[in-house]
Amino acid sequence: MANFTYIGRFKRHYVERNKGVPFLGSREIFFWPPKAEKFLHPNSVEDNLFIQEKDILLSCSGTVGHAILAGALFRGMAISQHVLRIHPKKENDVGYIYAFIRSFYGFSYIQGSQFGAVIKEIEPRLLGSLPVPILPSLFRKQIHNKMLRSLVLRERGACLLKKAERLLYNRLGLPNPDNIDLGYIFSTGRNVQAFTVSSNELNGRLDGSYHLPGAKNLLSVIKQSIHPVLRMKELVKSIIIPPRFKRYYVDPKNGILYVRPSDLSTVRILERRYIARLTPELDQLRLNKGEILISTDGSIGDLGYVTDAWNGLVGSNNIGRIKVDQSKIHPGYLLAFLASPYGQIQLTREIYGGVIDHLEVPNIEEIHIPIPPREVQEEIGERVLKAYIIRDKANALEEEAITELERAIRREAL
């Protein structure tokens, strides 16, 4: 029913963002919108590395078995050898095969086929033996259409976020961060990430990340804004980081879906875990509609927003909750600013910790935010909030199709 593209290990020649081809690993394929953290030299990228629209992308190393259907936003992006590409032979089977891989039956088979003592792997020849039930063609077409509608919704939401970011720069008069000089000292023939700091600017911090010249330059641009600039603590009702707690994982019937920091940047919650309802700290861990979420440990600065779909779920103690004062700032605008390089660089420069990075409430409170007129905030912010609602609809449609497929398989098995 399908062909596979598996890329072996290859030499990677990384270059700067504006000089290379976006390169996605097995984690980045699930970012929403799709976003590369590394870039390859164009001359080192062969044609078989590029993602094609409607490819089914499957993680095949590390965390094995998670899949996503590639849309138009993946065009021009290269893929890691840790991602297997599946190309259904019939176009009308794309959504159906994707739904089956994501179903309990497909995912369980893939999990059972992985190998490796430390790092789990799966190979195309093992996936090629995956038995796919051939249900009536009309039913397969219905599942296919639902998955494609979900893809359209997911990409529409991602485009709204990209539009909001462009509006942010345009309406606030901020230059594109990619065009701002990072301020490093350069040596002959290559860039050296070295810089100087005056003793008067140490501010009690001796860690290099706090004094990165790129951070100082972006912060200088913000402070020179034509709009008033306020600190985060002046714009929110509260910023809360819950206490550590003992995690009791249970089955879905006896627990509440658990949101981890890694789930904030992805299109959906990839690994579903459920926290026991009897957890003593449960009330402090609940997510409440309208909160902005921010990862505060490990991978710093990943952001999320609590919609109806996430309201009442349990969040990790490594996720900070920002309750916005909507009389002072639009929550969607604040989320758009924090997600931009102007917000991210302020968050990452506040990191502390020798092994695991951390942020605390006082660090988040000091983030500088330009405050444009309310109509500008709404123009940007409403697009952001609508994007999250559309993403929820896309995920709900996918889950509906997968549930229908699982029920049909069970009926056929009786």
**241 and 296 in contact (C-beta within 8 Å)?**
yes
Q: Which two tokens stand for residue 137?
A: 């063609």
Residues of the chain by 3-state class (helix, strand, coil), percent to 5: 40, 20, 40
* Distance between CA atoms of residues 320 and 340, nearest Å: 18
Where does residue 366 rank: exposed (0-12), middle (13-18), buried (19+ CB within 10 A)? exposed
Cβ-contact 155, 73 below 8 angstroms = yes
Coil vs helix vs strand at 386: helix
Of the CA atoms within 13 Å of residue 239, those in its CB half-sphere come to 20
Secondary structure class of 157 (helix, strand, coil): helix
b (16+ CB within 10 A) / e for 213-239:
bbbbebbebbeebeeeeeebeebbeeb
In the predicted model, what is the mean pLDDT of residues 379-404?
97
First-to-last C-alpha distance (Å) of the chain:
25
Given the structure tokens 């020798």, which residue do they identify?
354
pLDDT of residue 192: 61
Mean pLDDT on 228-236: 95
129-164 residues labelled b (16+ CB within 10 A) or e (exposed): ebebeebeeeebebbbebbbbbbebbbbbbbbbeeb
What is d(CA 140, CA 143) in angstroms, rounded to the nearest whole number?
A: 5
Q: What confidence category does residue 237 fall into, taking pLDDT thresholds of 50, 70 and 90?
A: very high
Q: What is the CA radius of gyration of the chain?
A: 23
In the numeric block, which tokens belong to residue 106? Answer: 């497909």
What does the angle CA 236 – CA 322 – CA 265 come to, to the nearest 5 degrees? 140
Distances (CA, A) of 414 to 95, 97, 134, 383, 409: 25, 22, 15, 47, 9
Dist. CA 80–CA 51, nearest whole Å? 10
Q: Can you tell me the mean pLDDT for 247-270?
A: 94
Q: Which two tokens stand for residue 46?
A: 């062969």
| pLDDT at site 56 | 92
pLDDT tens-place string over residues 46-65: 888 899 999 999 988 777 88
pLDDT digits (tens, 9 = 90+) for 11-45: 888 888 878 999 998 889 999 999 998 999 988 88
pLDDT in tens, 259-311: 999 999 999 999 999 999 999 999 999 999 999 999 998 888 999 999 999 99
Query: Is the pLDDT assigned to residue 188 strictly greater than 70?
Result: no
Per-residue pLDDT tens digits for 54-102: 999 998 877 788 999 999 999 999 998 889 888 888 888 899 999 999 9
Quick count: other Cβ atoms within 10 Å of Cβ 22?
19
Under DSSP, is residue 242 helix (H, G, I), strand (E, B) or coil? coil
Matching residue, tokens 């230059």:
175
The pLDDT score that the predictor gives to residue 330 is: 97
Backbone angles phi, psi at 174, to 5 degrees: -90, 135
Query: Sorting pLDDT into bands at 50, 70 and 90, what band is 200?
Result: confident
pLDDT at 189 over 60: no
Share of the chain above pLDDT 70, in %: 96
**Cα(158)–Cα(163) distance, rounded to whole angstroms?**
9
**Phi-psi category of residue 96: left, alpha or beta, with phi > 0 → left and psi -120 to 50 → alpha:** alpha
Calculate the average pLDDT of the chain: 89
Decide if pLDDT at 207 tops 50.
yes
pLDDT above 90 (res 357): no
Could you tell me which residue, 222 or 286, shows the higher pLDDT? Answer: 286
Where do we find the tokens 């929820």? 392
- How far is the C-alpha of 390 from the C-alpha of 178, rounded, in Å? 29
Enumerate domains of the chain plus CATH numbers. 2-160+393-413 (3.90.220.20), 178-388 (3.90.220.20)
Q: Per the structure block, which two tokens stand in for 372?
A: 């444009």
